[in-house]
Structure 1
Amino acid sequence: MRWYLVVVLLLVVGLVFQLGLLVYAMYALLGVMLTSRFFARSWIESVTAERGCNITNGVIGDQATVTVTIKNTGRWTIAWLLLEDSVPKSAMMQRPPRIGIKKPRSAIMRLKPGETKKLSYRVRFDYRGYYQLGPLLAETGDLFGLHRRYRVLTEPVYVLITPTVVPLSGYDIASRRPIGEVRMTYRLFEDPTRIAGVRAYEEGDPLRRIHWHATARTGELHSKVYEPSTVAGATLLVDFHQDGYNSRAEPHRSELAVTTATALANQVYLLGQQFGLYSNGRDAADRIRQQGHRLEFRSRVAAQTDASQETSSDRLRPVELRSARGPDQFQRTLETLARLELTDGLTFSELVVEVSGRLPRDATVIAILPDVPEETAIALGTLKRSGYSVTAVVVTYDEHHFVACGGRLVAEGIDVRRVDDEAMLAALCSQRMIGAFG
């Protein structure tokens, strides 16, 4: 805008002092600037794009082919158009990167009226996660470089990469106790689908309780005895506060914590028992819903900043998946763990206080921890003294660090196990629980 003011000022000066050459030059420059502005705006508004991606769900190691189709719907030839498809900046900056890009995801092209061209590239997913591919950043302008316009084209697609499921060897299926002791303390309800035995009929028994086969065989009324309906299984508490994960061991330690939670959920699912999940991490889907993205920008820097992810969060609501059983519950658990991100919101002790009223009484509480400060040990100890069966799995590569963490937990009466790689994770359920050191 200031250049227009300068041109108008010089034009006024030329008219006042009757400087014909200056007036002519300013008229010509003003015409070029207005024409350039018109074409720059017209070109950027006439560009449309459509996105295609061959997968939206996958596992670690899968590749997605992203194809963006660009079309000029205007009446004018677009002299130049710079395109760049956005990918998560944090995933590229991590070492090693979470994703690998094959083929360029940017291009410069010229589009005639009605012409269509394609931009295609491949993405390899090396870690679990919830990845946003897109939107497409478009830039064009006049031939003189006086005006440039920017737009964000196409809605992004989201690809969910689920964590690896590690089978746990040495798993004692007959015990129906995946890890730790499951104390069946609340037996207020009965499960009519599970008959435990037969007893003599008592006055007041409803007709649907009568065991007709036993009655016919003995000639006396008998009633069915049902097994108590209790909530067995496990509730996973995953500490995903970024302070517990030293940057030197990242992303390997946080990924191992997620893999541990996935393996335990899988084993409880195979038993047909109920399981739930709580974490103080951040759900990537929630983050994306809150941030969104705009459609037009005045500069490329603004467009790239808006399309990139935020790295901090003050989330004070835990990620929550209530206890249930079955394949749908396991799939929801996989998806939730795939989207889990480190955050600086709730500490683990605050998480325990927040969710303690919603934990099933007869399910083992399994805490997956990268570190055990004093407040974490006290919070788990409080759960233990409240009647819950509590087991802690410490994810650490350092033997001395594990001894320090285990000491705090054992002092609170918590059973402790350790994981430092997938091989140790596979033998997790056959480990001897550490109840004391020495």
Structure 2
Amino acid sequence: MAVVWLLTVFAAVYLVQRGAFRLWGAKGIRYERSFSAPYAFAGQRVTLNETLTNGKPLPLPWIRIETMMPSMLRFGSPGSEMAVSSGQLLQNHASLFSLPPFTKVRRKHEVLCAHRGVFRLSSLTCTFGDLLGTPAGTLALTADCEIAVLPAIREAARLPVSVRQFMQSSLGHPEAFREDHYQIAGIRAYRSGDSMKQVNWSATAKTGQLLVNKRESMVDNDAIVLLNAELLDAAENRRVPPEAFEEAVSFAASVIHHLMNSGGKAGLVFNGQAGERRDVPLRVEPRAGREHLFALLRLMAEFEPVVRRELAYVLEELAASGLRNANVLLISAFLTPKQRMLVDRLRQSGNRVETLLLYREAIA
């Protein structure tokens, strides 16, 4: 009789607590997540921050947050409170929490950005359980966050000799850094010989260092990087592997990065798929400034080797547009005889065109 009584009490307690968790367990749950930086370069590490809040008097013995993420974001060694199941393109990330009443828990995960791209995390599934460990309910939540993984930047010394010579030539015009334009391009440290009229007193007061307004140069030191998305060489009947395109994007990003950090202006032409951009081909005119640099790198994070216009047509359009006295770096896995002829046509128009062919170029 005592056993029956104990079983009855146990069943009643179980049903009451289970009903309480099923009725109120989902109330007051808030989940937020964010990356420690809005962007990173491929190969760098960032932190994914999770915040889970229980805003009610009922404790949650356990709650599991599950979400699907791109496999290009690689987590460190998972602990007892985290599990990661990875596939080729996606991975399932699960975090386990235990929340007393009116509690906020913050957790940080180190993430390796293994591949360029723009990665968005949105929906997730929240499962919570009762005192005996059995699931009591499921809740669908939304916690949007995004990170742009920019192409890897190579050191200038690791770029091919021809590319380094191209950059030096683009920046080596006489008086290439003469600031003789009315347009202000930022601020810089004071140099001997600068006019006191150029001093930016507001910035000087804030930093304690004498700073002057930096002006644009009227001398043309623009450079245009033309990136070819074609991977199929029909003339030679061979297909270049996707790794060659990733190398091409890295070279293009590195050249633009080093040119603009040295005071030059850079533009970009791309004949492939660039995220949601509908320009065919994508063409960004040369400009200077940090904002323009990161706008270009952000675009390149979404480049895909999906040809939207053949390189031959792009070269014909550039020649027909009246392009003159421009510094053009063409990065491609290969060049067909027709493409070489069009490159020569651009050169005959007074442009300097340097080609970087990935399967032939040796790294110096």
Q: Which residue of 2 aligns with 1:342?
A: 304
The alpha carbon displacement at 1:78 in A equals 4.7
SS in 1 for 2:154: coil
Report the alpha carbon displacement of residue 138 of structure 1 after superposing the two structures with TM: 2.1
Contact 1:233 1:363 in 2 (8 A): yes
Amino acid at match of 1:325: A
2:268 and 2:286 in contact (8 A); partners too = yes
Amino acid at match of 1:341: F
Residues 371-416 of structure 1: per-residue CA shift (max 9 Å, x gap): 33566446545545655443321112xxxxx5xxxxxxxxxxxxxx
Which residue pairs with 2:32 in the alignment?
50
SS state at 2:31 partner:
strand
Distance 1:243 1:71, change over 3 A: farther
User: 2:49 matched to 1:62?
Assistant: no
Change (3 A) 1:351 1:368: same
Deviation at 1:342, TM superposition (A): 1.5
Aligned partner of 1:158 in structure 2 is 147
> Which amino acid is 2:96 matched to?
I
Q: Equivalents in 2 of 1:366, 1:131: separation in Å?
A: 26
The alpha carbon displacement at 1:121 in A equals 1.6
Which residue type is aligned with residue 265 of structure 1?
Answer: I
1:236 maps to which residue?
225
Label 1:78 to 1:268 Cα distance change in 2 as closer, same or farther (>3 A): closer
Alignment partner of 1:392 is 2:355: yes
Q: Residue 154 of structure 1: SS of its match in structure 2?
A: strand
State the Cα distance separating 1:236 from its structure 2 match.
Answer: 0.7
Structure whose residues are more often strand by fraction? 2
> What letter corresponds to residue 274 of structure 1 in structure 2?
K
Distance 1:193 1:333 in 2: 26
Q: Distance in 2 between matches of 1:166 and 1:373?
A: 30
Q: Does 1:107 align with 2:95?
A: yes
- Over 3 Å counting, the alpha-carbon distance change for 1:75 and 1:172 in structure 2 is closer
Task: Determine if the alignment matches structure 1 residue 167 to structure 2 residue 123.
Answer: no
* Structure 1 SS opposite 2:156: coil
Check whether the contact 1:316–1:345 (CA below 8 A) recurs between aligned residues. Answer: no
2:198 maps to which residue? none
Rounded Cα–Cα distance in structure 2 between residues aligned with 1:275 and 1:137: 41
Segments of 5+ residues of structure 2 without an aligned counterpart are: 1-14, 83-92, 182-216
Question: 2:42–2:149: 8 Å Cα contact kept in structure 1?
Answer: no
Matching residue of 2:325 = 362
Name the structure where helix makes up a greater proportion of residues.
1
In the TM superposition, residue 263 of structure 1 has moved relative to its aligned partner by: 3.8
Q: Distance in 2 between matches of 1:318 and 1:41?
A: 56
* Structure 1 unmatched runs, 5+: 1-31, 93-98, 183-190, 195-227, 288-314, 397-401, 403-417, 428-438
Q: CA RMSD in A?
A: 4.6
Provide the secondary structure at the position in 1 that maps to 2:356. Answer: strand
Does 2:304 align with 1:322?
Answer: no
Alignment of structure 1 residues 16-415 onto 2, 5 Å = 43-44=25-26, 46-74=28-56, 76-78=58-60, 80-89=62-71, 91=72, 99-103=74-78, 104=82, 105-127=93-115, 129-132=116-119, 134-135=121-122, 137-140=124-127, 149-168=138-157, 177-178=169-170, 193=180, 231-241=220-230, 249-251=241-243, 253-266=244-257, 268-269=259-260, 272-283=263-274, 286=276, 317-326=280-289, 328-337=291-300, 339-349=301-311, 350-352=313-315, 360-373=323-336, 376-377=339-340, 380=343, 383-384=346-347, 388-396=351-359, 402=360
Classify the secondary structure of the residue corresponding to 1:371.
coil
Q: Shift of residue 151 of structure 1?
A: 1.8
Larger radius of gyration: 1
Q: Secondary structure at the match of 1:255?
A: helix
Partner of 2:7: none
CA deviations 1:111-163 (Å, max 9, x no partner) are: 45423334432112344x24536336123378799996442332213144452
**Matched residue type, 2:46:** A
Contact 1:277–1:323 (Cα < 8 Å) also in 2 = yes
CA distance in 1, matches of 2:354, 2:221: 15
The one-letter code of the counterpart of 1:158 is I
What is the rounded CA distance, in whole Å, between the counterparts of 2:76 and 2:232 in structure 1? 30
Counterpart code for 1:120: K
Aligned AA (2:255): L
